[in-house]
Structure 1
Amino acid sequence: MIIHLVAGGPTNLLPHLQAYDGEDVCWVGVDRGVLALLDAGIMPKRAFGDFDSIDEQELQQLKNKLPHIDIWPAEKDQTDTDIALDWALEQKATKIRLFGVTGGRLDHLFGNVQLLFKGKDGQIELIDRQNVVTLYRSGEHTVKNEGNYSYISFIPMTPIRALTLRGFKYPLNAHDIPLGSTLCVSNELIHHFGTFSFTEGILMMIRSKDEK
C-alpha cells in the first residue's frame, strides 16, 4: 500500500495531486491539507490534526464529509504531520509521500525533514512542485533517470564515509563527505540509472527541477 499525506503548507507549492492517485493509494489529510485534497477532487480516507487553522464551520463540514477524522488537542508533543506519519508507518506502507510540508515557516520545514529519519531507505518522500527528498543509510542504492528532475544533490546528514557515485556527470570514488560540505550539490545522471554507495552515515538525496 502507498499512503499519501497532504499537510497544510502553501498550496502554490503542491504538485498536481491527481497525478499521484491510483488504486493502491490511500490519501490522508493533515489539518488544513484536508481542504487542499477536497479542492483537488480527492476524498481522504482519514484526517488528522488539531484543525486550529480552520474555523468551526469548516471543521463541521469536514466532520460531515470525512469517513474518519481524528481531532487532537492543540497542545501536544508531536506535530499533526508527525502523528499522521506514525499512523502511516503502522499500516506497513511500502511508500509514504508527504505533500504540503514545504514553504512558509522554516521551523515546520526543518521539522518535516526530520520526519524522514523515521522510515527505511527511500520509504518516505517529501514532495513539492520542484523537489523530491529522501534519506538513505549506508549501502549501495540505485537511482533512475526520471527526466523531469534533472538535478540530483546529496546532502550529508551525518559525516559520510567513502561515497561513490557511478553514472553521474560528476563521479566520486570512495570520497569522505564532512558535515557542511556542498561538494555533491547539483549533480546529474548521464545514463538511464546511476548508483551511489557509502560505508557509513546518513545521506539526503534531493531530486530537483527548475520552475518553468
Structure 2
Amino acid sequence: MSIINIVAGGPKDLHPSYHNYHSEDAIWVGVDRGVLYLLEDNIIPNKAVGDFDSIDENERKKVEKKSKDISVFPAIKDKTDTEIALEWALNHHSQVDKIHIFGVTGGRLDHFLGSLQLLLHPLKEGVQTKIIDRNNQIELYNPGVYQLAKDKHAYVSFLPVLKDIKGLTLSGFKYPLNNCHIHYGSTLCISNELINPIGTFSFESGILMVIKSKDQCE
C-alpha cells in the first residue's frame, strides 16, 4: 500500500510541514507552484503536473530539471491541475491506501470549493483522502461506524454533503447525538469537541464531511 501526497500551489503559510507526512512509501505529486514548494523543502516530487502558469521561466526550468516525471497541460482545459493530479493518483496506483492534499485552502475560494468537491472522487473509489493545512483536516465519509482519536485539533465539525444525514450518532464528544436526522444546510454539528481519548461517530445514509480544526498554527 502507498500514501500519495499531493501538493498544490495555495498560500505557503497555510501548508503544514511536509516532513510530518514523509515516509519511505510516500509518493509526492507537485501541482504547478506546489512543485517549487516541495523542492524548497528538499523533497523531489515523483510526479509534477500542471500548466505552470503561476511560475516564471527560471522557476519552470528548475521544475523541469528536478522533477522525476513531469506532465505539462495547456492553461485552457476542462479540469483544474489539482483534479488532474488526483486522477493520476487514483488511476496509476491501484494499491494506494491514503491520499493527502495540501495547498488548496486559502487564496481563491473557487479553487477551494472545487477541491472540496474533488473529495467525492476518491470516496467513490474507497480511498481515504484528506485535505490538510496548518489548522484543519477535511475528509468525507460514507455511511458506517468510525472512530476519531483526540489530537491537537480541538474541534470536530460534522456537515452533510449534498443531502441530509440520517441516523447520526456521536459518542465520546462534548455534545453527543443519538440517531439524529441532520438536514443539508444545518450547522447543528459545528465545533463539537472530543472529551474521551477516542470518540465514535456513525450514520445510516448520506455523505458526511468531518472537519478537524484548531485555532493556532503549528
Please say whether Structure 1 and Structure 2 have the same fold, judged by a TM-score greater than 0.5.
yes
Structure 1 runs of 4+ off > 2 angstroms? none
Question: Which residue type is aligned with residue 81 of structure 1?
Answer: T
- Aligned: 1:24 with 2:25: yes
The two structures have a TM-score, normalised by structure 2, of 0.94
**Superposed counterparts of 1:68-147, under 5 Å:** 68-90=69-91, 91-92=93-94, 93-120=96-123, 123-145=128-150, 147=151
Does the CA contact (< 8 Å) of 2:44 and 2:68 recur in 1? no
- Aligned: 1:165 with 2:166: no
**CA offsets per residue over residues 50-95 of structure 1, 9 Å max, x none?**
0011112221221112111100111111100000001111213110
Distance 2:63 2:109 in 1: 28
Counterpart for residue 154 of structure 2: 150
CA RMSD of aligned residues (A): 1.1
**How far 1:114 sits from its partner (Å)?**
0.5
**How far 1:122 sits from its partner (Å)?**
6.8
Question: Which residue type is aligned with residue 39 of structure 1?
Answer: E
**How far 1:32 sits from its partner (Å)?**
0.4
Does the CA contact (< 8 Å) of 2:170 and 2:176 recur in 1? yes
SS at match of 2:116: helix
Question: Which residue type is aligned with residue 49 of structure 2?
Answer: F
Gaps of 5+ in 1: none
State the identity %.
Answer: 54
Question: Which residue type is aligned with residue 102 of structure 1?
Answer: T
Gaps of 5+ in 2: none
Counterpart for residue 53 of structure 1: 54
Distance 1:67 1:36 in 2: 15
**How far 1:137 sits from its partner (Å)?**
1.2
SS at match of 1:8: coil
Counterpart for residue 38 of structure 1: 39
Does the CA contact (< 8 Å) of 1:160 and 1:200 recur in 2? yes
Counterpart for residue 208 of structure 2: 203
Question: Which residue type is aligned with residue 33 of structure 1?
Answer: G
**CA offsets per residue over residues 24-66 of structure 1, 9 Å max, x none?**
1111100000011111121111100000111122212211121
Equivalent residue pairs, number: 211
SS at match of 1:4: strand
